[in-house]
Structure 1
Amino acid sequence: MRMAFAVASSSSAISGPSFSPSNACSEPKALQLAPFRLLDRTHGQSSVLNLSQRRCAVKPLNAEPKRNDSIVPLAATIAAPEVVEKEKVEAEDCEQLAKSLVNASPLEIMDKALEKFGNDIAIAFSGAEDVALIEYARLTGRPFRVFSLDTGRLNPETYQFFDTVEKHYGIRIEYMFPDSVEVQALVRSKGLFSFYEDGHQECCRVRKVRPLRRALKGLRAWITGQRKDQSPGTRSEIPVVQVDPVFEGLDGGIGSLVKWNPVANVDGRDIWNFLRAMNVPVNSLHSQGYISIGCEPCTRPVLPGQHEREGRWWWEDAKAKECGLHKGNIKQEDAAQLNGSGGDANGTATVADIFNSQNLVTLNRNGIENLAKLENRREPWLVVLYAPWCPFCQAMEGPYVELADKLAGSGVKVGKFRADGEQKEFAKSELQLGSFPTILFFPKHSSHPIKYSSENRDVDSLMAFVNGLR
């Protein structure tokens, strides 16, 4: 296993334009960076590590033996001073800390995390836009550590990006690998692509969750790139800091691991503006339409009108789009919704309805059944099968309502049918529902509805579909 840690080092040990801790600490004035403010540092502050005076041995994430110095450069084995007090952080402490940082910038949150946990915290880097975390860590002037999960099924572009990031920052990323015996057993028994048939959870558990569990057992805290706008169904309420609800840390037991989410309150567009402003390297897959990047078989580009998370596990329901690394985001009521229950008396989630327009007809069960039975309709119909809690339905709400307005008076009726909860099985068996949203066109002289097969849900594409059939 490649054992190395991403930390700051002296310019004599690492070449390149990244930074030098001594230089970062010698300037007493605050550095103004767009909307972010780098905290004041002086030579007299004990929290700043003077690498020429203080060095300590690295403690690997998963407590395995260190590799030989001939393999791991000295610069990559310099760590922050040990934290003297290692008392367990209580949930109340994290809640109070989260409240105090709710309006803080990502830079301030990152600085607080690194200051508080020193060498016992690490950044989880996926190879996507969370490279912003590494940039924020660099700007604090503190030593930092980075690890990543190599599932063995990442895109070639992602592996190339890892190498670029290491060279750009003069660091070494610690890669965590799945257990070869477990991977071999899974592939031999179920094949290479079983997740397309029975869901991604089993494969993710072997290739991602268990390696992450090993990594976190060597830490007291970790830093993630989760944002609230990434997945409205599962991440809309994540705080900037919390007691990890799923994994255990170095001391073991509940409350032994703290989870930091410095960019939780940041809009995705602002992340990208920051990356461009700082000239930070990015994964080349982004220029090909990929936004959320995971394993190659389970990731695809996002098309117009789609939410960014829809590029992941696209064959599954919206609320299942967590791999298990952030399983604590899924609430109990969400889990019930995944099983087609929970919410109100009808088994549907009690959330605000969507696709509201005077030019849209709301169909109930009887209405959609009658529409499906008609063989000679006076007008063709376009109907969306949706669930209001689905982030992908929410993402196409604007284009669909605009389409309904454009088709008003054209001879084409536009409708909607809520197909979650107790209506889900009916929609699957009778209305070709695969995942939300599903769009059907009911021709004027045919009883058989035509399913819109494209994932492109912008107004022009939907209009082309209607015009080609009416």
Structure 2
Amino acid sequence: MALSSSSSLLQGSFYSNFLSSRELKAPLAHSVLDLVPLAAGRTYRRQWMVRPFRPELRRSDSIGSVAATLVSPEVEDEIETDDYEKLAKKLENASPLEVMDKAFEIFGNDIAIAFSGAEDVALIEYAKLTGRPFRVFSLDTGRLNPETYQFFDSVEKHYGIHIEYMFPDAVEVQGLVRNKGLFSFYEDGHEECCRVRKVRPLRRALEGLRAWITGQRKDQSPGTRAEIPVVQVDPSFEGMDGGIGSLVKWNPFANVEGQTIWNFLLAMNVPVNSLHSQGYVSIGCEPCTRPVLPGQHEREGRWWWEDAKAKECGLHKGNIKQQEAYQNNGNGNGVAQTSESATITDIFNSRNLVALSRSWIENLIKLENRSEALLVVLYSPWCHYCQAMEGSYVELAEKLAGSGMKVGKFRADGDQKAFAQQELQLGSFPTILFFPKHSSKPIRYLSEKRDVDSLMAFVNALR
């Protein structure tokens, strides 16, 4: 998955170009994936029943209602947890259209699309292209941007649908605000507010379903979404039958890059949230979302005051690795160590960049006078935020080549994390430090703009 292409998409004038280029349309072939019958052998795992869909019946007007008339007692297929793992492998290389069609074929009126007001509109467009009836629900937290509400309205009119909105419990919201104020999440983390305004309303919505469809992609968030399958038994929420294993989660975009989604939206000329033209990429509640700055990964616009491992609201909490995995790995970005990540290709590779060792850094700190200034990035190679700034940092090194100052990198994860935190001001990845010629104390780059011009301005102001 090429993160460089995805991150470059999120910068510059892409969204303004997108909004000004609405005439282009492209045909999309509609093919249905033929799957082999699923195994129905008995296992020790929990079994639950999938009810076939009868297209002549109209969908429910309420996300929480149970369409009992959809039961066909003479035909019921038992589907096991193991079978969904096999199905995920079968669909791994399928197009989003094929995945969506299969989801609707299996679950009919008992499945709905979770629409967030961002690029999830692509899910609705694919649902329309299947030609099957579909349902859409959304969580109205009461704190969305005005542009997001306008977007909801335009989507309903464009597709001729009624989005089924879920709202937080008024008493719970009142208690939270009265006890802790309107902006407590800036001080004690966003989990409590998200639990009241998003997670519990979602739980109520899913209790009336057997499956749901999300817009998750593997390239969206470091550490929390890198391993999501196309389809899975939901590890966190329950469906209408109740109990673990009673809800199936579909992620048709799991293996699709962000740039591909936006190319599709452009080709199909569908409505988009106007916030995208203002630099917003991942869009949530207004107080917790801001535009993405140059050189940043798209997820850095969400809960920017928190460490990367916390950048989930709880709707997809099953993605988050166990805390012990983060601690054992020692990675400041909270990415669990795996056999794959242990051998991941290094980044910031350039003949103009110096790879610094621990002993080199220790000696550098002791020097009060240096022969030349030095710029160093503290990084982790599997950190998506570091990957997002790789191009600009390498370009900066090329521009500074022969200028009398060095540009270097120091891998500060794993065993080096504690040292970097104590001696090098490491807070989270990436951290950029400038070592002047005549000062023993390094100067930390505090801005979150990581484009070449911003980094060069920092260097020129100090050298």
TM-score class, shorter-chain normalisation, is 0.7 to 0.9
- State the Cα deviation string for residues 255-277 of structure 1 (Å, max 9, x = none): 11111111222221121111112
Confirm whether residue 238 of structure 1 aligns to residue 231 of structure 2: no
The answer as to whether partners of 2:225 and 2:319 remain within 8 angstroms in 1 is yes
Return closer, same or farther for 1:80/1:125 CA change in 2, 3 Å cut-off.
farther
Q: C-alpha distance in 1, partners of 2:86/2:151? A: 37
1:457 aligned residue: 450
SS of the residue aligned with 2:70? Answer: coil
For residue 303 of structure 2, the aligned residue among 313, 316, 332 is 313
1:266 aligned residue: 256
Q: C-alpha distance in 1, partners of 2:201/2:246? A: 18
Q: C-alpha distance in 1, partners of 2:331/2:93? A: 36
- State the Cα deviation string for residues 229-252 of structure 1 (Å, max 9, x = none): 212432222221111111111111
- State the Cα deviation string for residues 150-178 of structure 1 (Å, max 9, x = none): 11111111111111111111111111112
1:218 aligned residue: 208
2:389 aligned residue: 396
The answer as to whether partners of 2:367 and 2:440 remain within 8 angstroms in 1 is yes
Q: What are the within-5 Å matches in structure 2 for residues 85-104 of structure 1?
A: 89-104=79-94
Q: What are the within-5 Å matches in structure 2 for residues 134-153 of structure 1?
A: 134-153=124-143
2:55 aligned residue: 49
SS of the residue aligned with 1:294? Answer: coil
Q: C-alpha distance in 1, partners of 2:172/2:415? A: 38
Q: C-alpha distance in 2, partners of 1:286/1:144? A: 26
Q: Shift of the alpha carbon at 1:429? A: 4.5
Return closer, same or farther for 1:55/1:316 CA change in 2, 3 Å cut-off.
closer
Q: C-alpha distance in 1, partners of 2:255/2:69? A: 30
1:154 aligned residue: 144
2:11 aligned residue: none
Q: C-alpha distance in 2, partners of 1:388/1:455? A: 19
Q: C-alpha distance in 1, partners of 2:325/2:261? A: 28
Confirm whether residue 433 of structure 1 aligns to residue 439 of structure 2: no
Q: C-alpha distance in 1, partners of 2:394/2:87? A: 42
Return closer, same or farther for 1:460/1:227 CA change in 2, 3 Å cut-off.
same
Q: C-alpha distance in 1, partners of 2:171/2:357? A: 51
- Which residue identity lines up with residue 181 of structure 2 in the other structure? G
Q: C-alpha distance in 1, partners of 2:263/2:143? A: 29
Confirm whether residue 111 of structure 1 aligns to residue 101 of structure 2: yes
Flag structure 1 segments of 5+ consecutive residues without an equivalent. Answer: 1-31, 41-45, 65-78
Q: What are the within-5 Å matches in structure 2 for residues 317-466 of structure 1?
A: 317-332=307-322, 335-336=326-327, 337=329, 351-466=344-459
Q: C-alpha distance in 1, partners of 2:168/2:92? A: 35
SS of the residue aligned with 2:232? Answer: strand
Q: Shift of the alpha carbon at 1:81? A: 6.8
2:265 aligned residue: 275
Q: C-alpha distance in 2, partners of 1:411/1:98? A: 54
- Which residue identity lines up with residue 202 of structure 1 in the other structure? E
- Which residue identity lines up with residue 82 of structure 1 in the other structure? L
For residue 295 of structure 1, the aligned residue among 282, 285, 297 is 285
Q: C-alpha distance in 2, partners of 1:178/1:89? A: 33
- Which residue identity lines up with residue 135 of structure 1 in the other structure? E
2:41 aligned residue: none
SS of the residue aligned with 2:179? Answer: helix
Q: C-alpha distance in 2, partners of 1:88/1:296? A: 43
1:60 aligned residue: 62
Q: C-alpha distance in 2, partners of 1:202/1:153? A: 15
Return closer, same or farther for 1:80/1:392 CA change in 2, 3 Å cut-off.
farther
1:186 aligned residue: 176
- Which residue identity lines up with residue 435 of structure 1 in the other structure? S
Q: Shift of the alpha carbon at 1:342? A: 9.2
- Which residue identity lines up with residue 381 of structure 2 in the other structure? P
Q: C-alpha distance in 2, partners of 1:304/1:247? A: 36
2:158 aligned residue: 168
TM-score with structure 2 length normalisation? Answer: 0.81
- State the Cα deviation string for residues 16-55 of structure 1 (Å, max 9, x = none): xxxxxxxxxxxxxxxx964532559xxxxx97734xxx54
Return closer, same or farther for 1:379/1:452 CA change in 2, 3 Å cut-off.
same
The answer as to whether partners of 2:220 and 2:298 remain within 8 angstroms in 1 is yes
Higher relative contact order at CA 8 Å, sep ≥6: structure 1 or structure 2? 2
For residue 82 of structure 1, the aligned residue among 40, 46, 70 is 70
Q: Shift of the alpha carbon at 1:80? A: 11
User: Which deviates more, 253-262 or 95-104?
Assistant: 95-104
Q: C-alpha distance in 2, partners of 1:381/1:206? A: 47
- Which residue identity lines up with residue 288 of structure 1 in the other structure? Q
Return closer, same or farther for 1:418/1:181 CA change in 2, 3 Å cut-off.
farther
Q: Shift of the alpha carbon at 1:432? A: 3.0
Flag structure 2 segments of 5+ consecutive residues without an equivalent. Answer: 1-24, 34-51
- Which residue identity lines up with residue 49 of structure 1 in the other structure? P
Q: C-alpha distance in 2, partners of 1:424/1:152? A: 40
* Identity of matched residues, %: 77
SS of the residue aligned with 1:167? Answer: helix
SS of the residue aligned with 1:249? Answer: coil
Q: Shift of the alpha carbon at 1:351? A: 4.4
Q: C-alpha distance in 2, partners of 1:99/1:407? A: 47
- Which residue identity lines up with residue 396 of structure 1 in the other structure? M
- State the Cα deviation string for residues 288-325 of structure 1 (Å, max 9, x = none): 11111111111111122211111111222223222111
Q: Shift of the alpha carbon at 1:97? A: 1.6
The answer as to whether partners of 1:89 and 1:258 remain within 8 angstroms in 2 is no
TM-score with structure 1 length normalisation? Answer: 0.80
- Which residue identity lines up with residue 209 of structure 2 in the other structure? L
Q: C-alpha distance in 2, partners of 1:395/1:339? A: 17
Q: C-alpha distance in 1, partners of 2:421/2:180? A: 26
